[in-house]
Amino acid sequence: MDTLLRTVGEPRRCEIIRLVWSDELAAAEIASHFPDVTRSAISQHLGVLRRSGLLNERRDGTRRLYTVNQGELAKLKAFIDSFWTTSLEKLRDLAESSEQMKGHE
Amino acid sequence: MDTLLRTVGEPRRCEIIRLVWSDELAAAEIASHFPDVTRSAISQHLGVLRRSGLLNERRDGTRRLYTVNQGELAKLKAFIDSFWTTSLEKLRDLAESSEQMKGHE
DNA sequence: TACTTGCGTAAGTAGCAACTAACGTAATCA
DNA sequence: TGATTACGTTAGTTGCTACTTACGCAAGTA
């Protein structure tokens, strides 16, 4: 989870995920969305995203096409969601223990 | 959103959020959960979290008590969720435009 | 008042991470 | 075969960031 957090914590990588969310894009197409940095920088970001499991790579001739592994990002989503659900569980546990208290009254 | 992402992208800060999610804790209590780093390091993390708007501070004597600003974290949750909803919207737009196509056939 | 507690802050450092420039490489095409 | 395209990778640099140490400061306490 730490790896996932760190990977998405970089704004450009987050933007890349958004770019290839529903469209399969080649590395150069992705890089063209970031005119302020070199293609090499984007290639390295793609490497980080790939190793984190957030991006899938498919080869087509000399091109490399990327898509999002939505399941991996879903883990992050579930992690964020868990902040809310755990507090609900705490409330439920509290309710249960007070029920037990009543039983012993 | 970049600030929010960067703030949460640091594992210790993420853990701090979890700690004070449902319990109001003093700085020293939070620091005691991280025996491997100094209290100062945690204090600086608390500063980052506070400036990002993720934590609320309340003073009680010499102590400073922290709680999570859940609304701010909800923004991050909404951002992550938006990855899925925007793709749904794209499908909806696609469906609408193909409806228009049918009308012009 | 002096001392202690509980904290933030400033200064300085070490390590990492994002970047550029240069190079290597597989696939394609002339 | 040589040239080109579309990439990744390596080496080296710079800047940031998480950290420690030292200090400052307000609020209690003897």
Residue in the structure block whose two tokens are 């150069």 = A28
Of A9, A30, A31, give the one whose Cα is nearest residue A21: A30
A19 burial via Cβ count (<10 Å: 0-12, 13-18, 19+): middle
CATH number reported for the structural domain that contains residue A99 in this entry: 1.10.10.10
Rounded to the nearest angstrom, the gap between the alpha carbon of residue A83 and the centroid of all alpha carbons in its chain is: 16
Residue A60 bridge partners (DSSP): A63
At A105 the pLDDT is: 43
Q: Do A21 and B81 touch (CB under 8 A)?
A: no
Q: How confident is the model at residue A86 (pLDDT cuts 50, 70, 90)?
A: confident
Tell me the torsion sign for CA atoms A91, B13, B8, B69: positive
Angle at B92 between CA B91 and CA B98, to 5 degrees: 90
Instruction: Dump pLDDT digits (tens) for B32-77.
Output: 999 999 999 999 999 999 999 999 999 999 999 999 999 999 999 9
Give the chain B residue nearest A5 (alpha carbons). B9
Break chain A down into helix, strand, coil percent, rounded to 5.
Answer: 65, 15, 20
At B96 the pLDDT is: 72
In chain B, the number of structural domains is 1
Q: What is the rounded end-to-end Cα distance, in angstroms, of chain B?
A: 44
Per the CB < 8 A criterion, the answer to whether B5 and B76 are in contact is: yes
Q: Is the pLDDT of residue B100 over 90?
A: no
Identify all chain A residues contacting B6, using CB atoms and an 8 Å cutoff: 9, 11
Nucleotide nearest to A37 (CA to C1'): C19
Per the CB < 8 A criterion, the answer to whether A5 and B14 are in contact is: yes
Domain that holds residue B12: 2-103
Instruction: Dump pLDDT digits (tens) for B1-20.
Output: 999 999 999 999 999 999 99
Q: Which residues of A touch B (CB under 8 A)?
A: 2, 5-6, 8-11, 14, 17-18, 21-22, 70, 73, 76-77, 80-81, 83-84, 86-87, 90
At B24 the pLDDT is: 95
Per the CB < 8 A criterion, the answer to whether B77 and B70 are in contact is: no
